[in-house]
Amino acid sequence: MTPPIELYRTMFTIKECDDRFWTLMQSGQIVLNYYSPRGQEAVSAGVCAALRPSDYLVTTYRGLHDHIAKGVPLDALWAEFLGRVGGTCKGKGGPMHITHPESGLMVTTGVVGSGLPIANGFALWSQISEDDRVTAVSFGDGATNIGAFHEALNLAAVWKLPVLFVCHNNLFAEHTAYAAGTSAEHVADRAAAYGIPGVRVDGNDPLAVRDAAAEAVVRGRAGEGPTLLEAVTFRFRGHQFGDDGAYIDPAIFASAQERDPIPAFRSRLLAEFGMPESEIAGVEDEVRTAVRDAAEGALAAPEPPAVELHTDVLATSLPGGAA
């Protein structure tokens, strides 16, 4: 079981990376299409704490928190976010397509909902090859209204695939409030339509997320099929960089801030787990140094050479062919 301080380390790393990206963008040092995960740190930290390193994760364009929690190395992650040499994907994928199979981070898609059917495929191969893996897939509340979500839950249920469907319900689908675009009162309610467990959990509590995810992972590994996990959370920095959040009711925003998972869990480490302040501060310092080093390394790295434009399109190009 992952110790609470390690969950906090993951969450603080996500926040520290996010803050640094934000500062670099605001100062004009980098230009990014950036979808901040600030506020959703506990969901990724909790889910990934329930997974083995060899388990698979499929995520979406708001994915930084998942990338970090699943263990993608910070240096390669930062270099890829900036499109530099040394990036996980040679600078060809970028933030919306982070891939790092060594960490089990198999796909990051930029298309809402499209990761779910693909996650089924990873789980299908685990079922057939009996490799004992579970696949988790992250998506937002908005994705639960697209067809791919429903096709994927149905197929996973019919085939009893070892999949954990994780909805990061941050209450907004782009700029549209949850209830304005979603017929079900709760995302987890939708599991009933497919005859699978639907679990709703406080997405700001990494331990609650971890425990709920762990139960689902046990079910999946035991061949009992998929689970829909709804982690209710919030995003503090809008849909993407540049979004002023004018559509968010200030009262809802203020109430969410009171439940910000980072300070909340830090307080629990002190009060509930009796962790000394110095130990927490020590972890924070280590994280700050690691993130600063990764950022500086990425900023100093060159852009990909032009030859990379044409590589990696096909695995096998054919002589005499003009593809």
Partner 1 sequence: MTTKQTRKASFRDGVNLALDEAMAADPRVIVFGEDVADGEGGGVLTVTQGLSTTYGTKRVRSTPIAEQAILGAAIGAAVAGGRPVAEIMLNNFLRVAADQLANHAAKLRYMSGGQTTVPLTVRSICGAAGGFGAQHSEFLDADYAHVAGLKIIAPSTPSDAYHLLRSCIEDEDPCLFLEHLKLYFGGAKERIDTSAERVPIGKARVARSGRDVTVVTYSQTVHEVLAAAGTLAAEGIDVEVIDLRTIVPWDETAVLESAARTKRVVVAHETAVPFGVGAEISSRIHEELFGELAGPVRRVGSAHVPVPFAAGLEAAYLVGAPEIESAIRAAVAA
For the bound state, the minimum distance from the C-beta of residue 36 to partner 1, rounded and expressed in Å, comes to 21
Can you point out the beta strands (E) in 124-221?
Answer: 135-140, 163-169, 172-173, 176-177, 198-202
Site for partner 1 in 52-111 (CB under 8 A): 56, 58, 87-93, 97, 99-101, 106-107, 109, 111
Nearer to partner 1, 155 or 248 (CB): 155
Q: Which of 36, 135 has the CB closer to partner 1? A: 135
List of residues 6+ apart from 46 with CB closer than 8 A: 7, 205, 206, 207, 208, 209, 210, 211, 212, 213, 231
Question: At closest approach, how far in Å is the CB of 7 from partner 1?
Answer: 28
Instruction: Please state, in angstroms and rounded to a whole number, the distance separating the CA atoms of residues 144 and 228.
Output: 11
- Is 116 among the residues that bind partner 1 (CB under 8 A)? yes
User: What part of residues 277-316 is at the interface with partner 1 (CB under 8 A)?
Assistant: 311-316
CB of 283 to partner 1, least distance (A): 30
Tell me how crowded residue 100 is: count the other CB atoms within 10 A of its CB.
20
Residues in the chain, how many? 323
Q: Which stretch binds partner 1 (CB under 8 A): 27-35, 39-47, 127-135, 226-234?
A: 127-135
Site for partner 1 contains 121 (CB under 8 A): yes
Name which of 103 and 227 has its Cβ closer to partner 1.
103
CB-nearer residue toward partner 1: 46 or 94: 94
CA dihedral 296, 300, 306, 308 (to 10 degrees): -40
Q: Are 4 and 207 in contact (CB under 8 A)?
A: yes
User: Contacts with partner 1: how many residues (CB under 8 A)?
Assistant: 54
Q: 261 with 204: CB under 8 angstroms?
A: yes
Beta pairing partners, 56: 135
One character per residue 145-174, x = contact with partner 1 (rule: CB under 8 A): --xx--xx-xx--xx---------------
Nearest to 157 by CA among 186, 192, 109, 113: 192
CB-based contact 116:139 (threshold 8 Å): yes
Using the minimum distance from each CB to partner 1, give the nearer residue, 75 or 205.
Answer: 75
- Return residues touching partner 1 (CB under 8 A): 56, 58, 87-93, 97, 99-101, 106-107, 109, 111, 114, 116-129, 135, 147-148, 151-152, 154-155, 158-159, 311-323
